[in-house]
Structure 1
Amino acid sequence: MSLTSQLVTNLKRFRLVTFDVTDTLLRLEDPLRHYRRTAEEFGVTGVDRRRLEHCFRQQFKAMSGEHPNFGRFSPGLDWQQWWLQLVSRTFGCVDPDASPEKLERIGQRLITLFRTSACWNHVDGAQELVHCVRSAGKCVGIISNFDPSLPKVLDAMGFAGQFDFILTSYEAGVMKPDPGIFEIPLKRLQIPADQALHIGNKLDLDYEGARNCGWSGLLVNDADNPHSFPTLSKLLEGLKTQQIEW
């Protein structure tokens, strides 16, 4: 985990470096397989994967429209209940005969399961990049469109103690790319925007969201962009070996 002089130079202007999580540092490991397996444990068998995928996408879009940000401002609906409703609606779409009690048990099991290492993989280079940024003396944080269970997920994946703060959209009350979520850490830490860098995989949510607030950004994406790298490992290599023009 070498800290090159070029990496130090590239990060010199920044006091704060933040990361997105999903598909930037961590990647979900075939979530629909876990949905099917868990359903089978509770007697919902023969679930067609293509039908399950269609129903999940349909219901996730509907829930996100009806109750944005994991139900953050929906009366009587906390984030766990948001996920329980999503699971119930997904499997209700797949198997209309499944009982509400059975769907409740499936949902509870999935909520627990997806906060463990069983459902996540590290993106190549993630741990080394976070280590290098910390070793360069930066304040290191997370800014993620996620529910309040994110610290538990990061701890389960070996990132315990690696971040100075973890800011979820649920806590912030707004989701990326809303400027409000990028302004919160600047105000808390008394850091100007031009001394902050955000690293993520979504052009609109992460890169443009950050830059529209005066931050710098790096993108893990195939976008035609001078600050874009095809993989996180290539991004780390770029920080270590090439001069980046911010």
Structure 2
Amino acid sequence: MNRHVQFAKNLNRFRLVTFDITDTLLRFRKPPGVQYAETAALMGIKNLDPNKLQTLFREEFKSMAKKYPNFGSKSKEITWQDWWILLVSNVFHRVDDQLPQTEIRRISERLFEQYRTNECYVHIDGNLELLKMMRNACKYVGVISNTDPGLERVLLSMDIRHIFDFVCTSYDLGVEKPHCDAFLKPLEKYNVQAHEALHIGNLYDKDYIGARNAGWCSLLITKSVDETQKAKPTHVYTSLKEMHNALETIDIEW
């Protein structure tokens, strides 16, 4: 069977396809710890340990997510912009408590801006080709991502925002994946039934299972052996390119 015909056959049942973004379509150009150290060095704060910064970033992200869930979406005391500035400030204060607060604030604001541009992201190999095929095969193509409204700027700067009919962030939705409500809004907006929708992401619980619990179909992209073993064989792939090839060459059992 012709590859394009097979692709269309596999996607025929879907009127809506959504994607996660980070580590699905885009990835960080450098680990946050490296980016933080390099940005600080350019602003005069040199010799900070990227590995230490990376560890502190992970710890502070968990702490902030617990104190102000979903980037502060339900908080009356903090905006999503403040959420990130505070997180980064906490990281730098912990890595060197002798750093002046004015310097920490300056670096934090600079990093906040960097992470809203193409300075910190690269395209994952094969994403543009797959998006083009999805765009031709499905009526609606969108984004469902556990992040803040700054994602709009990122997608614009990476020159892919125009591909999507909509971008749903967890902040705007008020819930994070895997909550079923995260998958409801696009269905309601475009009058699509759950069985007519497909979600593609990189996390087993939040993307693959979250979508299925909401009645959707889903595909998983991961290199995790454990997660690969949990998903159905034709639902999980190690890369976008591998998944794209499967969609063009085999029958997917949804």
The TM-score bracket by the shorter chain reads over 0.9
How far did residue 90 of structure 1 move? 0.2
- Superposed CA offset, 1:185-226 (max 9, x none): 111111110000000010000000000010000110241232
Structure 1 counterpart of 2:143: 142
How far did residue 29 of structure 1 move? 1.2
**Partner SS, residue 152 of structure 1:** helix
1:25·1:126 contact (CA, 8 Å) conserved in 2?
A: yes
Matched, 1:5 2:5: yes
Q: Residue 247 of structure 2 is aligned with which of 212, 234, 239?
A: 239
Distance 2:218 2:241 in 1: 16
- Superposed CA offset, 1:19-43 (max 9, x none): 0000000001113222111112333
State the identity %: 44
2:36·2:50 contact (CA, 8 Å) conserved in 1?
A: no
- Give the 5 Å matches for 1:1-246: 4-30=4-30, 31-222=32-223, 223-224=228-229, 225=231, 226=233, 227-246=235-254
- Superposed CA offset, 1:7-56 (max 9, x none): 00000000000000000000011132221111123332211122212211
2:3·2:249 contact (CA, 8 Å) conserved in 1?
A: no
Distance 1:171 1:66 in 2: 18
Alignment size in residue pairs: 245
Structure 1 stretches of 4+ with a deviation exceeding 3 A read none
1:3·1:135 contact (CA, 8 Å) conserved in 2?
A: no
RMSD: 1.3
Q: What are structure 1's unaligned runs of at least 5 residues?
A: none
- Superposed CA offset, 1:139-190 (max 9, x none): 0000000110111101111203100000000000000001111011111111
TM-score under structure 1 length normalisation: 0.96
Counterpart code for 1:228: V
1:3·1:136 contact (CA, 8 Å) conserved in 2?
A: no
**Partner SS, residue 89 of structure 1:** helix
How far did residue 3 of structure 1 move? 6.8
Distance 2:58 2:73 in 1: 20
